[in-house]
Structure 1
Amino acid sequence: MASSPRVVVLAGGVGGSKFTLGVRESLARRGAPEATVVVNTGDDLWLSGVRLQPDVDSILYALAGVNDTERGWGRAGDTERVNHELQQWGTGWPWFTLGDLDLGTHLARTGWLRDGLTPTAVLERLAQRWPLGVRMLPMTDTEVDTHVRVAGGDVLHFQEWWTRHRAQLTPEAFLNPGMDAARPAPGVVEAIAAADVVLVAPSNPVVSIGPILAVPGLGDALAATSARIVGVSPIIGGAVVRGMADVCLTAIGVATSAEAVAGHYGSRREGGLLDAWLLAEEDAALAPVVDALGMRARVAPLWMRDVAASAAIVDAALDAAAA
């Protein structure tokens, strides 16, 4: 593998945004080309007449250095006057906060969409505001918002299940209406084909990475690429790092463990996704189990406490790809 690899990242959520910061730092040190980040859009939704893309915006704001690191979402120093006014009118979701600066992003996006721009073109415009240091692409231009069928048969938008109910309602299935007709966004397949390495961020395997892999044609592109595909475990010491990914994994019959998630993705040799899998130091004993799955196991510190730590994880993943 070249010392200046062409890298594609599959990412979503807070874990994806922290990892992407590390990717940018690691590649900048190597003098490598900017990475292409393929972002989950399954979290997207319409609310109060505007289009929200939570995972896109989390990564966009993190790269721009304007994200709220305390809450893990939204803009730093934001206010909520408009959100309060919307609640007085009885519109929107009172449990789903829209910050004023954040709402400006949503309004710009919605206006461009209504003018006829695609989500890919909209994201390109949004990215022009700040020097991001990576190329961001949505996984698809098709609306494939994630829904959750819970025990009893009710179907909720993912954001209602996740944010309002804190994943306390037992999920029976995760659905993406419209996925059968979806196609990878322009540039996604080409980036994967030209890549030296594809990195699977330590994002939620079910609702962040899962929708990306479900886009028809995207899995074929990953199977066909000559790039090495390396995943980073979102499980450390048998526990999720953030959020309720364990509830999502349980719903699809996958244990909350690093080797179980590796098995969920599968080895490329066996028709799955991965060439290599990065385990946390706390899970080093699982390396032989992962090797037996048909992928190369590597062990590294996986806590993304700051950009330097995230970059070190990316370095380890790139080393695994080069081995």
Structure 2
Amino acid sequence: MRAAPRVVVLAGGVGGGRFVLGMREALRRRDAAVNTEQLTVVVNTGDDLWLSGVRLQPDVDSVMYALAGVNDVNRGWGRQGESERVASELREWGATWPWFTLGDLDLGAHLARTGWLRDGLTVTEVVARLASRWALGASLLPMTDAEVDTVVEVDTGTGRREMHFQEWWTRYRATLRPLAFRNPGMESAGLPSGVAEAIAAADVVVVAPSNPVVSIGPILAVPGMREAIASSHAAVVGVSPIIGGKVVRGMGDVCLDAIGVATSAAAVAEHYRSRRHGGVLDCWILAEEDAHLASAVESAGIAAVVHPLWMTDVTATAAIAEVALRSAGR
């Protein structure tokens, strides 16, 4: 492997943004001149939605803002120095979800995105335009150019109902029991320009510690994605989003329970499966708190590596990313 290998990260959400920051730092420590050809982030777009007439891409924006250094680390989403005057006015008009806040700076990105989409640009082209505003040190690619917004079927207590993932996640805080997650239109979606090429050219593919069901799940569900990973010469290394039997952030345990997967580092590794057995993983990095599960991971045909996984700052996260790069050699 070169001093600065070519890396593709599959990521979504705030955790994905944090991990990508650490990966960029790890690559820069190997080669200060690392460029966007050496780090590609394939981002989940299952969270996308139309709201108040504009197209939102929460995971794309979370990763982009994190790499640009303009994300609000205190709230965990959106831009620094945000205001909410437009959101307040939209609520007065009854033209938005009252429980879903659009920051004014963030809304500027949504308006630009929507205008370019209506002009006929693909999602890939729009993401590239948005990302070109900052020197991100990485290339961002959506998992697909198709609209495959995540729909959740829930048990309301009096019956079943379908709703957009963002309503279930943000309004109800995942308190309504999910029965199924679906991405309508996924069967006719496909890989956008650049994704298969990046995976084919990669030395390492990393599955970030993002939600396995609603962040990584949609990425792997895009027709052609698993085939691209299976045929790549790159080692595929996953980083556990579970530490000590608990999710690090959000309500990922509720999502895992809905698909019959235990909230366990070993169970998530087995859910992704070994690449030798038709899955996607060659190696799995577990937290020190889960070291006792390493043998179960190895029994599933996946190399296990134990390392501290708390992403407390860029330094700690870069150390995790470096372990992922070194583990690829296994």
Query: 1:273 aligns to what?
Result: 280
Query: 1:215 aligns to what?
Result: 222
* Deviation readout 1:86-121 (Å, 9 max, x if unpaired): 000011100000000000000000011111111100
Query: 1:257 aligns to what?
Result: 264
Distance 1:114 1:292 in 2: 50
Residues 1:308 and 2:315 are matched in the alignment: yes
SS at match of 1:183: coil
Identical-residue share of aligned pairs (%)? 70
Distance 2:127 2:94 in 1: 30
Q: CA deviation at 1:2?
A: 2.7
Mapping for residues 13-162 of structure 1, pairs under 5 Å: 13-31=13-31, 32-33=34-35, 34-151=38-155, 152-162=159-169
Distance 1:99 1:291 in 2: 45
Which structure 1 segments of 5+ residues have no match?
none
* Backbone CA RMSD of aligned residues: 0.7
From 203, 213, 223, give the equivalent of 2:210: 203
Q: CA deviation at 1:315?
A: 0.5
Q: CA deviation at 1:271?
A: 1.1
Distance 1:96 1:243 in 2: 16
Give TM-score scaled by structure 1 length: 0.99
The number of equivalent residue pairs is: 323
For 1:261, the aligned partner's letter is V
Distance 2:91 2:233 in 1: 51
Distance 2:283 2:79 in 1: 35
Give TM-score scaled by structure 2 length: 0.97
SS at match of 1:41: coil
* Deviation readout 1:139-176 (Å, 9 max, x if unpaired): 00000000000122210000000000000001010000
* Deviation readout 1:120-143 (Å, 9 max, x if unpaired): 000111111110000000000000
For 1:13, the aligned partner's letter is G
Q: CA deviation at 1:77?
A: 1.2
Distance 1:175 1:241 in 2: 24
Q: CA deviation at 1:4?
A: 2.1
Distance 1:193 1:72 in 2: 33
Query: 1:5 aligns to what?
Result: 5
Q: CA deviation at 1:199?
A: 0.3
Distance 2:302 2:182 in 1: 29
Greater than 4 Å deviation, 4+ residue runs:
none
Residues 1:292 and 2:296 are matched in the alignment: no
Q: CA deviation at 1:3?
A: 2.6
Distance 1:223 1:287 in 2: 23
SS at match of 2:160: coil
* Deviation readout 1:222-252 (Å, 9 max, x if unpaired): 1110100000000000000000000000000
Distance 1:255 1:80 in 2: 39
Which structure 2 segments of 5+ residues have no match?
none
Residues 1:248 and 2:248 are matched in the alignment: no
SS at match of 2:328: helix
Query: 1:183 aligns to what?
Result: 190
Distance 2:89 2:272 in 1: 44
Distance 2:122 2:287 in 1: 39
For 1:38, the aligned partner's letter is V
